[in-house]
Amino acid sequence: MLESSSVLLFIVFVLIFVLLLFTVLIRKNAAAVALIWHEIIREKITNFIMNQSKEQRILDFVLQNAVRGDPCSVVDTIDKYCSQKEWAMNVGNEKGIILDKTVEEVNPSVALELGTYCGYSAVRIAQLLKPGARLLTVEFNPKFAAIAKQMIEFAGVHDKVKILEGPSEEIIPQLKKKYEVDTLDFVFLDHWKDRYTPDTILIQECNLLRKGSVLLADNVIVPGAPEFLNYIRNNPRFQCTNYPSHLEYMKVKDAMEKAVFLG
């Protein structure tokens, strides 16, 4: 009798311990757990059931609910879909406001975006460009590039935006000759995080920065770009500012890093 009650007690203790361990792990990795749920499990199931990609669903929702030729309405409609229906890796509205302010401050003639995805940030940047200014946006996934093309056309900013399809490391060295770029006034880094540092170095090696060129990097906390932060903050040629914020469509902490090239 005594033996069976101590076994029971032991099992209860083990269960409580496992439960506590899970709670701590989930709390510590809330962002990772949420992203795995949204990006892998839920999305794959929905894609399978609907036989359609999430990015196509975002575009369809915009085509049905936004106003053609109105970039604000396109941005708002994407935010509505991604905050209410399915999470997606657009910069989102909270960090989008930081992006807008930076673009307004720089007032670029030539802007470069690394990572187009569905064209959300491209539409956001393009609507703030002065007449004659242009945005070059780089995307290596042809399916995303095709969605972004339709999104940008629907928003009515296609005359300001050119999608360059291919890996950033191949496109950057072509910017001067093939795309007639002298220097870049503004660069938005929002592609895979392990490319932030090598592409920043490549951009400098290709002489694409001028004194006062501004780089803005998204997601420096989540998924995180520690190597980039270490590189850029310890580089005397850049002056950095951090903008604490939250991961798109979530309460998880994230930040953007601005780096002004000092020449």
Ligand X SMILES: C[S@@+](CC[C@H](N)C(=O)[O-])C[C@H]1O[C@@H](n2cnc3c(N)ncnc32)[C@H](O)[C@@H]1O
Question: Which residue ranges are tagged as binding site for substrate?
Answer: 193, 219, 248
Instruction: Work out how close the CB of 223 gets to ligand X at its nearest, in angstroms, rounded to a whole number.
Output: 9
> Looking at 219, 254, 257, 258, which residue is catalytic?
219
Among 66, 74, 115, 257, binds ligand X (CB under 6 A): 115
Q: Is 90 in the site for ligand X (CB under 6 A)?
A: yes
Q: How far is CA 71 from CA 76, 130, 154, 219, 246, in A?
A: 9, 15, 8, 24, 23
Instruction: Work out how close the CB of 117 gets to ligand X at its nearest, in angstroms, rounded to a whole number.
Output: 4
Number of residues that bind ligand X (CB under 6 A): 18
- Give the nearer residue to ligand X in terms of CB position, either 133 or 135: 135
| Residue nearest ligand X by beta-carbon distance | 115
Going residue by residue from 45 to 74, which x/- string records binding to ligand X, judged by CB under 6 A?
A: ------------------------------
Omega prior to 223 cis, within 30 of 0: yes
60 annotated active-site? no
Q: Is 257 in the site for ligand X (CB under 6 A)?
A: no
Going residue by residue from 129 to 148, which x/- string records binding to ligand X, judged by CB under 6 A?
A: ---------xxxx--x----
Burial call 159-187: b when 16+ CB within 10 Å, e when fewer: ebbebbbeebeebbeebeeeeebebbbbb
Query: Please, which residues have CB within 8 angstroms of residue 166's CB and are 6 or more apart in sequence?
Result: 138, 140
Among 102, 121, 183, 200, binds ligand X (CB under 6 A): 121
Q: Which residues are known binding-site members?
A: 91, 121, 139, 190, 193, 218-219, 248
193 annotated active-site? yes
Instruction: Work out how close the CB of 154 gets to ligand X at its nearest, in angstroms, rounded to a whole number.
Output: 15
C-beta separation of 169 from 199 below 8 A: yes
Going residue by residue from 148 to 177, which x/- string records binding to ligand X, judged by CB under 6 A?
A: -------------------xx---------
Going residue by residue from 188 to 217, which x/- string records binding to ligand X, judged by CB under 6 A?
A: --xxx--x----------------------
Mark out the alpha helices in the chain (DSSP H runs).
2-28, 30-35, 43-50, 54-65, 71-84, 92-106, 120-126, 142-155, 168-171, 175-178, 196-205, 226-233
Q: Coil, strand, or helix at residue 239?
A: strand
For residue 3, the Cα-to-chain-centroid distance in whole angstroms is 58
Instruction: Work out how close the CB of 248 gets to ligand X at its nearest, in angstroms, rounded to a whole number.
Output: 8
- Going 54 to 59 to 60 to 61, the CA torsion angle's sign is positive
Burial of 200 (0-12, 13-18, 19+ CB in 10 A): buried
